[in-house]
Structure 1
Amino acid sequence: MILNTELEYKGNLFPSNITKYSKDVDVLHFSTSNNVILKLTVLRDSVLRFTYTTVGKFERDFSYAIDEDASRGYNHLEITDDEEKYVVTTSKLICHIHKSDLRISLYDAADNKIICEDELGFHWEESYELGGDIVKMSKAAQNGESYYGLGDKPEHLNLKGRRFENWATDSYAFGKHTDPIYKAIPFYTGLHNGKSYGIFFDNTFRTYFDFCSERRNVTSFWAQGGEMNYYFIYGPKMQDVVKNYTDLTGTPELPPLWALGYHQCKWSYYPESNVKEITAKFRELQIPCDAIYLDIDYMEGFRCFTWSKDYFPDPKRMVKELADDGFKTVVIIDPGIKIDNEYSVFREGLEKDYFCKRADGPYMKGKVWPGECYFPDFTRPEVREWWAGLFKELIEDIGVKGVWNDMNEPAVMDVPGKTFPPDVRHDYDGNPCSHNKAHNIYGMQMARATYHGLKRYNYPKRPFVITRSAYSGTQRYTSTWMGDNVATWEHLQIANIQAQRLALSGFSFAGSDIGGFAEQPNGELYARWIQLGVFHPFCRTHSSGDHGEQEPWAFDTEITDVVRKFIEIRYQLLPYLYTAFYQYSQDNVPMLKSLVLFDQDDVQTHYRIDEFIFGNQILVCPINEPNAKGRRMYIPRGEWFNYWNKEQVSGGKEMWVDADLDSMPIFVKAGAIIPKYPIQQYVGEKVIEELGLDVYYKNGKEDSELYEDADDGYDYTKGRYSLKKFNLAGSEDKLIIRIHKRGQYVTTYNTFKVNLYGLPFEVKSIKVDNEYVDLADVKFENNSLVISKEFTNLQIKG
C-alpha cells in the first residue's frame, strides 16, 4: 500500500497551503485550503502529538493506549512564523511547520541539529475498496539511522531494511521472519548521530511500517483507516525515549513476588493426580517453583469458568493443598463462550446481549476449542464489568491466584483470516466501530477485564494476569509471553530478541515458552533455554506436551542439575529482579536493556542482538548453538567482572568467553552491589534472616538500589516499603559504601553478608558507621564479612 517509486504521487492526496492558524493553550491548529487540519498538541517539552484530519473535523479523541496518569506540562512554549514556516519551540525541541504543504521538521533545541523530518509527510489515498482513507506518513531517513521497537517481531533487533504489519494474529509455530504475529505495538525508536527519538502511531487499524525497505532513504508508516495520529518523543538518550513512551502508555503495579519465581506449564496437566505428581517431583528434587498452570483440559468441555468433575472433582481442596506445598495455581481462560443453553455463562451473556454482533444483527459465531462459540464485546464497559465478576468463584472461593488469557487476538479456527470477519461491530467505549478498528485492542480489553476481576476478588493480595495478544498500553494490566514458539536453536535466539524488543517497547514483564511450545527439545537445548529464561522477567516452561515431557527432570541428571542451578540463581537474584521491577513500575525504566539502549554512543552496540543487560548491572549472553563450549560476545564499554570466576575485564570489545553446559556468559558491572536472598523452594518458604550483598570493586563511583516490601498486598502504597540506595566509591587503597534508606517497611533481617570482589588491596581495617571493628568480630574471611546490624556507612581500607 505504500507509494511506488515510479508512481510516487499517483492516487495520493496531499495537504495544500496553510490558510489559518489558531492556538488554545497547548493545542495549535493549522488549516489548509483543501480542508486538511493539523492539530499539534504540546504534551511535554520533549513530547509532541501530531493529528491530521482530511475532512475538516476530528473524530472524538479517545485512546485505549494512553495512560490517564501520563505526565503533562512543559517549561517553555513559543510560536513564531516567517514567510515559509511556523516555528514551535519548547525547551527541548524546535518544530518547523512548512506553510506550503504542512511538512514537519524537528530539531534539537540545544544545538539546532535535525532529529527527524518529513519526506512527503502526511498524505492519504482514497480507498473505495476499504470505503475510506488510507492515511500515510513518510519521513526522511538520516545518515546511518537505525530503528528499534515494534513489540515482539521475530526479526533482527535493528529493523532497518525491513517492513512490518501490525495485525494481532494467532501464529502457531511462527518462524524467524513471520509477520504479523500476536501483538500490535506501533512504537519505534530511531537513532542517528547520537540522537534518539521515538514515534508512537496510535492507530488501532491494520498498520504498516517500512524502515528504508522500499526506498533506501525513507521510513514510512500507514494505516487502513482512522486518523493519522502520532506522538513524537525526543531523547536524545534512547533510554529517555523509552521511558517517556512508557510513561505515556503506563506501567503495571508491582506484581506479587511469587510471580517472578519459576513457573511450570504444559498443555495439559490433568487429572489432579498428574498435577500432584509434578508438584511433588519439584519438591523431591529440590528445584524451586512457585506456580503450576492448568491449560484448557481442566474445564468441563472447554467451557470457561467451569471445572471437569472427572479430572478435578474438588478444585478448592486441590488448590489449597497445592498452596500448602508452596504452589500458586494459574488457570487459562479464553474469550470464546460455548453456545450451550445449559451453560450459565453463555445464558447470562445472551440474556444481557453482551456478545459481539455482525453488522446486520446476528451474533458473531466462530469455532474454537469448545466448538461453536459467541464472543463477549470487551470494548463495552458493562461487558468488562460482567467478565470481571465471573472470576468470583475461581479466585475468591476456589483460591486460584493467576489467570492466563489465550486465543485473544481473537483467534477463530477454520477460517482463512483466523479471526472475526471485518463486519463485526464493537462499542469501543461509546465510539461504535467495525472489527477493522477494534481487532488489535480486543485482547487488550479482555486482559483488562480479567485484571480487574482478579484485583477485586484477590484483594488484599495483588493480581497476576498473563496475555498472548496486546496493543500499546496492555502492560498496565498484565504480563505476556511470546506465543507458540518451536523447540529449535533458532527459536532460542528469537526468544532473546523478542524479550529485548518488548522491553524497548514499554512491555518488560515478558518471557518465552522455555524449551519451545511446539516439538520437543533435547536436554542441551532445554538447559540453554532455561539459562536464558531465568534472566527474563517472566520465567515459565511451557510445551504442547504431545511430543513428550518437558519438565526439568525430563532429560538426564546432568541436565536436571544444570536447570536446578540456574533456577536457584534466579531465586537468589529475586531482590535484584524485584528492584528492577520497582524501577520499571515507578520510573518507567525497562527491565531488560539491549546493548544499544545501554550505550547508544558506542556504534558497536547498534547491531548486537544476543547480549543484553538484565536490570541495570548484569550482562547476559545466551549460548545459541549446540555443542558449544563458549562463544564470542561483545562486552560494553567500562569495567566488568566475570560472574563465575570474578576476573575483571575491560569492555568496548568482542572476546571469547568459556561456557560449558553448566555455565553461560554472565558479567557484573564494576561498582555494582548485587543483593541476594538465600535459595528457597518457593517465595515465602523461608523467613529471610540474612541478606547477601555482592560488592564488585570499582576505582570510581557507582550507585545501586534495593527495593523491598511485604512481597504482596498494597501496604507499600502507604509507605511501608524499604528503598536502600547504595553509593559506592573506590580508590586504590579504600572502598566506601554509604547506604541511604527510605520507607517504613522493616525487613525480616538485620544481618548482612558482604562479599567483596576485585579489591586491589589487602584489607587492613574496617569501619562500620565510623567505628573501627575487629576483623574477628565481623567474621572476616576470604574478603567476606558478616555485619549483624543495619548500617549506613562501611569503610574498607588497605
Structure 2
Amino acid sequence: MQVETSSSKYSAKHYPDTIRSWKKEGNYFSFYTSETILEVRVISDKIIRFRYASDGTFQRDFSYATSDTLEEFPIAFGIKEWEENFEIYTNCIKVLIARDNLRVTITDLTGKVINEDEMGFHWQHYLQKGGKIVYCSKLIQEGEVFYGLGDKPTDLNLRGKRLENYGTDAYGFQKDTDPLYRNIPFYYGLHEGIGYGIFFDNTFRTIFDFGKERDNVCSFWARGGEMNYYFIYGPDLMEVAEQYTRITGTPELPPIWTLGYHQCRWSYYPEKKVRDIAAEFRQRQIPCDVIYLDIDYMDGFRCFTWNNEYFPDPVAMIKDLAAEGFKVVVIIDPGIKVDQDYNIYQEGIKNNYFCKRADGALMEGDVWPGKCVFPDFTNPEVRDWWAGLFKGLAETGVRGVWNDMNEPAVFEMGSFPEDVRHDYDGEEVSHRKAHNVYGHLMSKSTAAGLKRYLMPHRPFVITRSCYSGAQRWSSVWTGDNVSSWEHLWLAAVQCQRLSVSGISFTGSDIGGFIGEPDGELYTRWIQLASFHPLMRTHSASNETGFNQEPWSFGEEYEAVVKKFISLRYQLLPYFYTTFWQYAQNGTPMIRPLAFVAQHEEETHDCTHEFMFGDSLLISYVNEAGMKEKEVYLPKGTWYSYWNDETYTGGQHVTVPTPLDEMPLFVKAGAVIPFYPVMQYTGEHQLEEIILEAWYSDSITKSTLYEDAGDHYGYKNGQYNIIRYKQQSTPKQFWLKKQYYVNYETSYTRVRVKVHGLPFTPELILGDGQAISSFTLHPETKVLEFVTEKGVEEIIIK
C-alpha cells in the first residue's frame, strides 16, 4: 500500500496563496485566492465548519453522517479585518485566517491557542486513481494528547500513532491492527486542560497522523473528495462529545430488553438446540433476554429465508420463546445468492438494484451462500426495497436484526474492487467513495424496515461496519476478537473509544469469538461486559463442540457469572437513565477518565478505569490469577461498591480482586435506582424499586428517567424525570426530589438504602412525617426504610 507522506511522488503539492477577496452571507464567510476558496460556516458559538475548494469549485454539499435535525444557532458572531489576518469571532472563540496563505489559528477569547495550522490545507493530484488527495496539517501543542477514531484497537491516547479508515473484515485482529471495521473520522485534542474535536466528513479512505511522521505535527488527509471538517470547541471533552452528536445525531431510545443479557453463537440450530439453551437459562435462573440465530437458520444461507429442516415452524418457536421472556435476533448479510429460483435475487436483477463493475457487469463475489451479488445501499430506491424485505421476519416474530459482513467483506477478494459503481444518492461514484458507507447504509435501511414493521415496538439493529452517525439507528460490536487476556483489554479500550466517538451502544464478543477461554477469563470478561451498554456472549463453532454459555465452565465460575448478570439487571434503571442522557444530549455512556477529569494528567493515559454514567467507576481484572489491583480514582470521595469503604481520589489505590469481585466504585453523593432481581425485563409487575444513596457533604445531583421501556409514547411526553439533590452535613442527611411525571409506573413504594452516614440516625422524615420503621444493618451500617413513591423530601437526623 502506498502511503502519502511529505515525500510522496504522486504530483507536486499545491498550497493556497494570498486572499484576493472575501464575502459574508449570513453565517457563511468565503475567502478567495487565485485558485482556492475557503468557506467558513459558523454553526454555533463553538462549532465552525471549514470547507475548501482546491480549484475554485465546490463539490456537492452532501453527507451521510450529519443529522437532519442539525440546527445552526450561533448566538453572536462577526468579522474583523487586520493587517495580517481576518478574525471571525463568536461568543466563545476567535478564528484567525492568514491573508497570505489561508492558514487558520483558533483561540479562546483571551487569545490562548486551541488549534492552529502547520501547513494547513494543501492538495496534490492523485495520478494513479484520479481526483485529488486533500490534506490538512496542524501543529501539536505542548503536552497534547489525542482520542477518538472509533474502534481502533490501540492505546486510548493516539499520540504518536498513524491510523486509517477503510472498513475491513479484520478476522482475529490484534492490538494495533489497522484498519478495522468502522470508519469514524473524528478525533479529540487536549492540551493544558483545553479540549476540542475535529470531524473530517469525507467518506474516501482517510488517514490520520498524530505525530508519527513528525512529532510536532498532526495531519489528516483523504484520497479523494473535499477537505471538509468541523472544528468543535469544548473546552470540556464531554461537551465536545455532546456537540459532535449534535452534528451527527443522537439515537432513539432502544427497547429496554436490549440492555439485558444477549446469548449468541455461530450457530444455534436446530430448533431443539435453541429451545434447550433457553430452558437452561431459566432452569439455572441466569437472567437473559435475547437469543441470536446465526447464518444456519437460513435456507442455504439465503437472506430472508428459513431452513425448514432446522426450523420447521419458526413462528411457533419464537412465540414460545417470547412466553419465556426471550426475544429473537437474526443475522442478515448483504450478499444475495445468485439463484434464478430465489425471489429476492430475481427482484434485484429485474429492478437493477445490485452493484455493478465499471464495464457494466454485476459485482459478483463468494460469501456464505456461494456466488453472490450485492445491493447498492447508496441508492435510496434500493434502501427502500431492502427495508420492505423485513416484513416477513417481523411477522414471524423476530425483534431485531444483526448486520454482518457489511464492510463489505468478500471471500478471497477481501472487499469490492475500487471500480465498482454506486448511485450515492444520485451522484454516481466509484467504490473508492462509497466503501466506507456501504455497511452504514445497509444498517440504516435495515433499521427503517424494522421500524416500519415492528411498530409500535422499537427496533433493534446491530451492525459490524458503519460510518459516523450510525448511532442514530444501530448498535455495534467490536468484531471477530480472540479469547485472550489482551483482547479483554482491547474490549475495554475499544468500547471506551467508540463511546466517545458517538457510538455508545457497543460491546464485545464476551470471552472472544475465536478460540476457547478458560473459566477465569470468561468470568472476568463477563464482569467487564456487565458495564458495557451491549452485553453479548458470542463465539465461533469449533471442532470440540465447546459452547460458551454462562454455565460452561463449572459451578464456581457459573455462580460469579450469575452474580454479575443479575447485578446488571438490578442496575437496569440506572443503565436506561444513562442511555436517556445519551439519546437526549449525546452524552457518552462510557466515559474514559480523561473525559471526566481532564485536568488530572494521570487520567490522560488511563485505559483500565472508566465511568459508566454519572456515578459508577469501573476497573477490570486483566490478568490471570490477579489478587489485587492498583486503580486510579479521580479527585473526590469514592465508595467501594462491595463494602462501602471510602477512598480519597486524586491518587492510585490498591484494592483486592477476589474472583467474585472487580474494582467497582460509587461516587460520593450518588443516588442510584435498582430493580429487584429478575430473569428478564418485564418478568414482574414491579411493586417497588430500590433507591440507594451514598452520603456526601457536598451538594450532588442524580437523575432517574422512566418510561414504558418500549413503544413510542415517550416521544409524546409519556415519561418521568426524577431529579435528586443531596445536600447533607455530618449531622443531617437531606435528599430532595423534583418530578416531571407523565407516565404511570406500576410500583407504589420506594425502598431507600443510605450508605456511609457519619452519624447514628434517630429520626427519619418523609415530607415532614416521621417514618417509624427503619433498619440500620449492624454489619454494613446501611440504613434501610420504605417510603411512598410520591415522597419529595427525606431528612435523616
TM-score bracket, normalised by the shorter chain, equals over 0.9
Q: Secondary structure at the match of 2:611?
A: strand
Are the aligned partners of 1:719 and 1:743 in contact in 2 as well (CA < 8 Å)? Answer: no
Alpha-carbon separation, structure 2, partners of 1:680 and 1:502: 30
- Which residue of the partner structure matches residue 518 of structure 1? 514
Q: Which amino acid aligns with 1:669?
A: K
Report Cα offsets for 1:375-428 as digits up to 9, x if no partner.
000111111110010000100x2000000000000000011xx10000111111
Are the aligned partners of 1:301 and 1:308 in contact in 2 as well (CA < 8 Å)? Answer: yes
Matched, 1:795 2:795: yes
Q: Secondary structure at the match of 1:759?
A: coil
Q: Which amino acid aligns with 2:422?
A: H
Report Cα offsets for 1:545-565 as digits up to 9, x if no partner.
215110001111001001000
Q: Which amino acid aligns with 2:55?
A: V
Report Cα offsets for 1:657-691 as digits up to 9, x if no partner.
10111110000000000100011100000111111
Report Cα offsets for 1:601-656 as digits up to 9, x if no partner.
11110011110001111000010000111211111110000000011111111111
Q: Which amino acid aligns with 1:530?
A: I
Q: Which amino acid aligns with 2:347?
A: E
Does the C-alpha gap of structure 1 residues 544 and 2 become closer, same or farther in structure 2, counting only changes over 3 Å?
closer
Are the aligned partners of 1:780 and 1:786 in contact in 2 as well (CA < 8 Å)? Answer: no
- Which residue of the partner structure matches residue 376 of structure 1? 375
Q: Which amino acid aligns with 2:251?
A: P
- From 431, 434, 458, the counterpart of 2:454: 458
- Which residue of the partner structure matches residue 30 of structure 1? 31
Alpha-carbon separation, structure 1, partners of 2:700 and 2:422: 52
Matched, 1:97 2:97: yes
Alpha-carbon separation, structure 1, partners of 2:604 and 2:342: 55
- Which residue of the partner structure matches residue 188 of structure 1? 187
Q: Which amino acid aligns with 2:30?
A: H
Q: Secondary structure at the match of 2:107?
A: strand
Alpha-carbon separation, structure 2, partners of 1:493 and 1:240: 27
Alpha-carbon separation, structure 1, partners of 2:608 and 2:426: 45
- Which residue of the partner structure matches residue 675 of structure 1? 673
Q: Which amino acid aligns with 2:53?
A: T
Query: Within 5 Å, which residues of 2 pair with 1:423-572?
Result: 423-546=419-542, 548-572=546-570
- Which residue of the partner structure matches residue 277 of structure 1? 276
Are the aligned partners of 2:485 and 2:521 in contact in 1 as well (CA < 8 Å)? Answer: yes
- Which residue of the partner structure matches residue 588 of structure 2? 590
Matched, 1:54 2:54: yes
- Which residue of the partner structure matches residue 13 of structure 1? 14
Query: Within 5 Å, which residues of 2 pair with 1:626-705?
Result: 626-705=624-703
Report Cα offsets for 1:209-240 as digits up to 9, x if no partner.
00000101000000000000000000000001
Alpha-carbon separation, structure 2, partners of 1:722 and 1:3: 53
- CA drift of 1:772 comes to 2.8
- CA drift of 1:246 comes to 1.1
Alpha-carbon separation, structure 1, partners of 2:252 and 2:473: 8
- CA drift of 1:488 comes to 0.2
Alpha-carbon separation, structure 2, partners of 1:768 and 1:465: 44
Q: Secondary structure at the match of 1:345?
A: helix
Q: Which amino acid aligns with 2:674?
A: K
- Which residue of the partner structure matches residue 418 of structure 2? 422
Alpha-carbon separation, structure 2, partners of 1:65 and 1:7: 30
- Which residue of the partner structure matches residue 385 of structure 2? 386
- Which residue of the partner structure matches residue 67 of structure 1? 67
Q: Which amino acid aligns with 2:730?
A: E
Are the aligned partners of 1:271 and 1:312 in contact in 2 as well (CA < 8 Å)? Answer: yes
Query: Within 5 Å, which residues of 2 pair with 1:707-786?
Result: 707-773=705-771, 775-776=772-773, 778=774, 782-786=782-786
Q: Secondary structure at the match of 1:569?
A: helix
- CA drift of 1:771 comes to 2.4
- Which residue of the partner structure matches residue 259 of structure 2? 260
Are the aligned partners of 2:10 and 2:127 in contact in 1 as well (CA < 8 Å)? Answer: no
Which has the higher mean CA deviation after the structures are superposed, 1-10 or 494-503?
1-10
Give the 4+ runs in structure 1 shifted more than 4 A. 1-10, 778-782
- Which residue of the partner structure matches residue 362 of structure 1? 361
Query: Within 5 Å, which residues of 2 pair with 1:131-170?
Result: 131-170=130-169
Q: Say how many residue pairs are matched.
A: 790
Alpha-carbon separation, structure 2, partners of 1:609 and 1:664: 15
Alpha-carbon separation, structure 2, partners of 1:123 and 1:688: 62
Alpha-carbon separation, structure 2, partners of 1:313 and 1:166: 43
Alpha-carbon separation, structure 1, partners of 2:68 and 2:352: 29
Alpha-carbon separation, structure 2, partners of 1:772 and 1:333: 59
- CA drift of 1:3 comes to 6.7
- CA drift of 1:12 comes to 1.2
User: Unmatched 5+ residue regions in structure 2?
Assistant: none
Query: Within 5 Å, which residues of 2 pair with 1:70-85?
Result: 70-85=70-85
- CA drift of 1:2 comes to 6.7
- CA drift of 1:251 comes to 1.3
User: Unmatched 5+ residue regions in structure 1?
Assistant: none
Alpha-carbon separation, structure 2, partners of 1:472 and 1:238: 18
Are the aligned partners of 1:259 and 1:464 in contact in 2 as well (CA < 8 Å)? Answer: yes
Q: Which amino acid aligns with 2:784?
A: S
Are the aligned partners of 1:168 and 1:180 in contact in 2 as well (CA < 8 Å)? Answer: yes
- CA drift of 1:9 comes to 12
With normalisation by structure 2, the TM-score equals 0.98
Q: Secondary structure at the match of 1:731?
A: coil
Q: Which amino acid aligns with 1:421?
A: P
Does the C-alpha gap of structure 1 residues 643 and 433 become closer, same or farther in structure 2, counting only changes over 3 Å?
same
Are the aligned partners of 1:779 and 1:786 in contact in 2 as well (CA < 8 Å)? Answer: no
Are the aligned partners of 2:750 and 2:789 in contact in 1 as well (CA < 8 Å)? Answer: yes
Q: Secondary structure at the match of 2:486?
A: helix
Are the aligned partners of 2:619 and 2:662 in contact in 1 as well (CA < 8 Å)? Answer: yes
Q: Which amino acid aligns with 1:521?
A: P
- CA drift of 1:148 comes to 0.1
Which has the higher mean CA deviation after the structures are superposed, 305-314 or 738-747?
738-747
Does the C-alpha gap of structure 1 residues 131 and 755 become closer, same or farther in structure 2, counting only changes over 3 Å?
same
- CA drift of 1:789 comes to 3.9
Alpha-carbon separation, structure 2, partners of 1:3 and 1:541: 40
Q: Which amino acid aligns with 2:418?
A: P
Q: Secondary structure at the match of 2:106?
A: strand
Q: Which amino acid aligns with 2:132?
A: D
State, as a whole percentage, how many aligned pairs show the same letter: 52
- CA drift of 1:701 comes to 0.9
